Amino acid sequence: MKATSCLIVAFSALALGVRPMPAAAALQSDSAKKTTQAPAPAKVDDKTLSDRIEAKLDADASLKKFDIDASVVNGVATLTGSVRTQAEKDRAARLAHVTGVTRVDNQVKLDKDAGKSVTQSVKDAAKTTGEKSKEAGKSAGETAKRGAETAGDKTAQAVSKSGEAITDAWITTKVHSSFVGEDSLKGSDINVDTNNHVVTLKGTVKSEAGRARAVAVAKNVEGVNRVVDNLTIAK
């Protein structure tokens, strides 16, 4: 009965002009269709991507000395740490673009001391501090020396024979007192002003002789460097 059914189907197919496909060929066709459909690539997890990026950074000759961290969240890689130059920062970003990463957020900072060991950093800091201390000590020593020299000069010039300090006020007082008892200066009205050991005489005297005597007396006072004569003769 089964054989009779198969013959009927075959004759029907021939009558319609359709050539029946052998069963084995049909099976091979279905298998070929399944084979040509490539499986979708498996999605790489964020942790694996992070490990891949850090492995590339650690293997790079120009970046392995720096402390650069990589983390990936939802395919976005974030780089943190520090390098010395912009070129090194850009290189780190390029290496982070591994398959599976959609974007790189480069937060690496520039630091001229990046990559140095702790020992080297301490040595550099100590060297800098030492140089600054040496320079400061040198400057302080020179300043103290100049101060001592200046003080010595002033002391030598500012002490009278009697041991008194010679100041402008002291000179003014000394000139006034020296005028007392001078016969040629009796009845004179003389004003004495001293600035930086320069004495200026103003006012009136009775005669030309009195004028000359006032200037001479002022010049003889200890500590006076110069006398400016602005005296006039009273009429």
- Give the 3-state secondary structure of residue 43: coil
CA distance 22 to 94: 57
Tokens of 229: 């004569």
Tokens of 34: 């399944």
pLDDT at 139: 66
| Among 8-12, 83-87, 146-150, 214-218, the least confident range | 8-12
106-116 pLDDT tens trace: 999 999 888 77
Topology at the third CATH level for domain 43-135? Histidine-containing Protein; Chain: A; (3.30.1340)
Contacts of 166 (CB under 8 A, 6+ apart): 157, 158, 159, 160, 197, 222, 223
50-104 pLDDT tens trace: 899 999 999 999 888 888 999 999 989 999 999 999 999 999 999 999 998 999 9
Q: Cα dist. 125→7, 81, 115, 128, 130 in Å?
A: 101, 21, 15, 5, 8
Could you tell me the pLDDT band of residue 128, with boundaries at 50, 70 and 90? low
| H helices, E strands: number in the chain | 7, 7
203-224 pLDDT tens trace: 999 888 889 999 999 999 999 9
Q: According to the CATH classification, is domain 168-233 in 3.30.1340?
A: yes
Q: Enumerate the domain spans of the chain.
A: 43-135, 168-233
**168-233 and 43-135 share a CATH fold:** yes
The pTM assigned to this predicted structure is 0.37
In contact, 221 and 174? CB cutoff 8 Å: yes
Average pLDDT over residues 112-125: 67
